[in-house]
Structure 1
Amino acid sequence: MTSLTVTLPIGVAVLERGWLSSNNVVLSGAPGEPTTLVDSGYCTHGPQTVALVRRHLAGRRLHTVINTHLHSDHCGGNALLQSAFGARVAIPPGEAEAATQWDMSRLSYEATGQRCERFKVDKVVAPGDVFDIAGRYWQVLAAPGHDPHSIMLFSPEEQLLISADALWQNGFGVVFPEIEGETAFREVRATLDLIAALDSTVVIPGHGSPFRDVEAALERAYRRLESFEASPDKHGWYAGKALAKFHLLEVQQEPLDEMLRWLADTPYFQLIHTRYFRGINYASWSQRIIEELQKSRAVTVSNGVVFNT
């Protein structure tokens, strides 16, 4: 659906999705002109994505899908959109070789316990590129932090930023390089500083509604970052709960023992535990993730089954 809280420029529309899928941003011109889609959602939502896009195209041609980064919730619909519309897929350069070869050891899907159907890489979009999409210029900006290869799109004319997971109205995405043992909080700060310097009046995030109060959102993001910098284990809990919740969003319900087994077998949870919680027994830590989700009412546990709520 298109967000009703912010009036967007003509030719820019947001198909706002639930948290299993990222938002889809439609950039279109006059009837008959090709349309560009930014990010394509998760693979299990693929048929819904195709239906939403087809309805919004209203006879236009979907020419290109641009991915801000290659996390499964942002590019999982690529393959189906290529099949349904013949769309070309453009991705940031950092993982272009891995995606072209579909090298699962370098892509994040197995490590996070998520899925993505293989798609064809047609083009690379790199920071510094400028595109004329439907009569409006968009700058491609580097946005490392959440993902080292992530990009944002900025329209100076409209002071409009497509921020992906670099800035939400209430925070930003898990800083995955930190989980892998790299120092990436400084990249998060640099990206937030870049967003602040753009003087955007509207931000379209990867999740949640478009918003205007960019200064307040940045203030909240800086506070969250400072909290993570001061106590990195807080980021560990954030990451563990976010990835576990994503899994429940996909499966909806799962026997508790099976979910605990999934947590034990999924490589990213092993990384999180090693990085932040090696002093805690792994089984106890896994159980606590579910307990923390239950405490925040993100899941319900009943009769030995974990339910998404």
Structure 2
Amino acid sequence: MAINIIKYEDWMLDQVTKMFCEQYDFKAEEFQLYFKNFYETPYQQDKCVRYAAVEGDKLAGFQSFFYWPYKLNEQVFNSFQSGNSLVNPEFRGQGIFGKLLNAIHEDEFRQGIDFLMGFPVQASYNSFLRAGWNNVLDLQWYVKPLGPVSIIRSIKEVKLGQFFRTEPLMIKESIQEQFRFNKTTEFIKWRNKLSENTYYYFVFEDENEVCQFEVKINVRKKVINELIIGDIQSSYSSLEFLNLAFQALIKACKSLKFISIITIAVNNAASDELLDILREKKFKPLNKSVHFITHPVNWKGQLDLDESWRLFRSDIDTW
């Protein structure tokens, strides 16, 4: 029987759930709640598109493109991230993923899209390249250890409140010449509803200028309390100002005593100033990176200049 690529329909939910739960060891009820909150709440429901590969009434694969608006200077793009991609193990090796990726180019939905982007895992990376996507850059991970004593201390959320906010400031950034994710209040509310994580915000202010770090806490190997910097927004692009902001963040983490390491993923080509600060603050590069890929649709501008993208960990849908 032939495999067809069609739009996702509600009858597929149980099969999509089974496929993702078997692949990633999710719990069915939690996955279905996440799935509905992701695609079927007001922020995405009229913007995203979902495709399924089916053989009769059997699901062979799933792929989605969801609204992920970037801006450049004052222009906000109708851009979409590729994500939640998976092929049923019974059907792998038949080129199904490539067909799912290309479905959007045969769909009227494409008429409203400026460009596509994504952060593929290694298993799907080559399929994207074969489908005509471009690997513009790789985000590089850096780590700063804070001291061994922290591994014997548990996380105390009450103490986090001494230094971190749970509501972000809306900051007009000084840097306008690079692609930047357009985080609106509507987007923040939608994303917060999706995640079990608590996102925190460290704010540094000096003479009416402000720098905000978006962070979350992750526990590695049950004892390493990692503070991940997901984004940096600053109203002032001064190297000295950003250096003082990092200094204040590191000091706060050391004061808490239970943060073992600080990590950050950055585009090395986007900011010499940021790299200088990471080196000065003794952040060490890890043998770990994240591919970033793009595919033009209707916008005729240039997407493949690595220095044009200011990206961090929170740009990825799984933040």
TM-score by length of 1: 0.29
Rg larger in 1 or in 2? Answer: 2
Q: Which structure shows the bigger proportion of residues in strand conformation?
A: 2
TM-score by length of 2: 0.28
Q: Which structure shows the bigger proportion of residues in helix conformation?
A: 1
Q: Pick 1 or 2: higher relative contact order, CA cutoff 8 A, min separation 6.
A: 2
